[in-house]
Amino acid sequence: MSMSAPAGATGVITVDLGALKSNWQTLAALVGRAECAAVVKADAYGLGADHVIPALKAAGCRTFFVATAEEARQARLLAPSAVIYVLDGLLPDSAPALADIGARPVLSTLDDVRAWAELCRARGRPLAAGLHIDSGLNRLGLPEAEVEAVAADADLLAAFELTLVMSHLACADDPDAAMNTAQHRAFERLRARLPTAPASLSASDGLMLGKPYHFDLVRPGYALYGGQAFQGGSTPVVPVVSLAVRVLQVHDVPLGETVGYSATWRAVQPSRIATIAAGYADGIPRHLSADSASEGGEVKIGGAICPVVGRVSMDLITVDITDAPQPVARGDWAELIAAELPIERVAKRAGTIGYEILTRLGRRFHRVYVE
Ligand SMILES: *Cc1c(COP(=O)(O)O)cnc(C)c1O
């Protein structure tokens, strides 16, 4: 494997920006007349907003969603003329900073709405903002009573420019969940009380539920990065991320000896073990540890997918390469995320979801961007 990483890099995350762009274009085509935005919160799901935002912009994306004011500031520098929505809405006193950079808060409480309206009055113009209404997730968004309070207050509504009414689905990954239709109905009912504005209900999985869920704008994040969370079929996206780490040592472990902290794995045959340069400090879940009784993670190494053995430690993982068809040597690359080892598979083994694997990949890994 050839890798344009600096000498001494212990691990390399390769981000395929060409795949990222084509994923956005595929989803944009899938939703037809609805606008396809991009969710780039948490440093573009850990992949590096400073590369991901320009690539998506080049692909044609005009609207970005971030979580925080700091993320909005970074996004604004990268995309000076894009529409930027801030999903966390307003914190007390954060409105002026958002207004200064032309970012649009997604207002999610009546207090948020009042604070934004007040700022608009002070500045003498109706600044754009989105409104997050709660359709049943009970996480963030105006409950019905607050939607009614906003709808009944003409002065409040006149103070700012309502550019998006959105809500968020709880069970979009499951196309059979009754909650999807219930939330769709609640969203329709609540937004009808408000002045007409572009509407958005769906993220990566919701857009896979079909046209009724597209409304005017969809907000995919995970799928753009190659994620396959939707359970009702495969999302038409390709992998974007791979992760390779260095082999530091290869050694033979005699029958009966143990490997790693707490001596949880014991060799039942003479074994060959590769130690690779990644650990829980790099976001590789400790739940990928394997003892003699239970399986853990997998690593592509020596031409095969080999099992993790023993504990995942802070900086190191041990892998049983006894049955690998090709020789493995110090300095070789071992793959933790690859075509055969998609993030969903890694996540399942660790008892988590691909989102968590992606967003926790550590800062020690070098990131390489290819087209
Ligand atoms: C994170 C988030 C998204 C993107 O979700 P994905 O499942 O990654 O597509 C969309 N909308 C809201 C409100 C979010 O919090």
The b-or-e profile of 242-266 (16+ CB within 10 A means b, else e) is: bbbbbbbebeebeeeebbbeeebbb
User: Which atom of ligand 1 lies nearest, measured to the CA of 229?
Assistant: 7
Distance, CA 174 to ligand 1 centroid (Å)?
A: 15
**Would you say the CB of residue 313 lies under 6 angstroms from ligand 1?**
no
Residue 5's pLDDT is: 81
Residue 24 phi/psi, 5° resolution? Answer: -60, -45
Identify any residues that bridge with 106 across adjacent strands, giving them in sequence order.
130
| Strands (DSSP E) found in the chain | 11-16, 35-36, 38-39, 63-66, 83-86, 104-107, 128-132, 161-166, 199-200, 217-218, 241-253, 258-259, 265-266, 271-276, 298-301, 304-307, 317-320, 333-337, 366-370
Two tokens at 244? 């390779």
d(CA 67, CA 354): 19
**At 186, is the secondary structure helix, strand, or coil?**
helix
Determine the distance separating the centroid of ligand 1 and the alpha carbon of 366, expressed in angstroms.
Answer: 26
Say if ligand 1 is within 6 A of residue 46 CB.
Answer: no
Residues in the chain predicted with pLDDT less than 70, given as ranges, are: 1-3
Nearest residue to 217 via CA among 199, 196, 204, 235 = 199
Instruction: Determine the pLDDT at residue 4.
Output: 73
- Which among 121, 106, 132 is positioned nearest to 155, based on CA atoms? 121
- Tokens at residue 230, please? 């939707």
Measured CA to CA, the distance from residue 53 to residue 72 in angstroms comes to 11
CA of residue 23 to ligand 1 center, whole Å: 16
Q: Whose CA is nearest to atom 3 of ligand 1?
A: 203
156 alpha carbon – ligand 1 mean position (Å): 28
Cβ of residue 39 lying under 6 Å from some atom of ligand 1: yes
Q: pTM value? A: 0.97
Choice among 41, 85, 225, 280 that is catalytic: 41
Torsion from C-alpha of 148, 154, 156, 161, nearest 10 degrees: 100
pLDDT of residue 346: 98
Q: Is the CB of 220 under 6 A from ligand 1?
A: yes
Mutational pocket test of ligand 1: of 45, 65, 209, 357, the residue with most ligand atoms within 8 Å of the beta carbon: 65
Q: Kindly name the residue from 45, 211, 225, 261 that is annotated as catalytic.
A: 261
| Residue 41 bears catalytic tag | yes
Cβ of residue 132 lying under 6 Å from some atom of ligand 1 = no
Four-point Cα dihedral 320, 322, 328, 329, nearest 10: 80
> Is the Cα dihedral 128, 134, 138, 144 positive or negative?
positive
CA 65 – ligand 1 centroid, Å: 9
Which is nearest to 64 in space by CA: 32, 156, 259, 78? 78
Q: Residue 156 CA to chain centroid, in angstroms?
A: 34
Task: State the pairing for strand pair 217-218/271-276.
Answer: unpaired
Q: Which residues on adjacent β-strands are paired with residue 290?
A: 310
**225 is a catalytic site residue:** no
Nearest CA to ligand 1 atom 15: 87
Report the pLDDT value the prediction gives residue 7, as an integer from 0 to 100: 86
Cβ of 222 less than 6 Å from ligand 1: yes
Nearest partner of 254 among 241, 273, 238, 233, judged by Cα = 273
Q: Whose CA is nearest to atom 13 of ligand 1?
A: 168
Give the start-end residues of each E strand in 174-270: 199-200, 217-218, 241-253, 258-259, 265-266
Q: What's the pLDDT score for residue 3?
A: 61
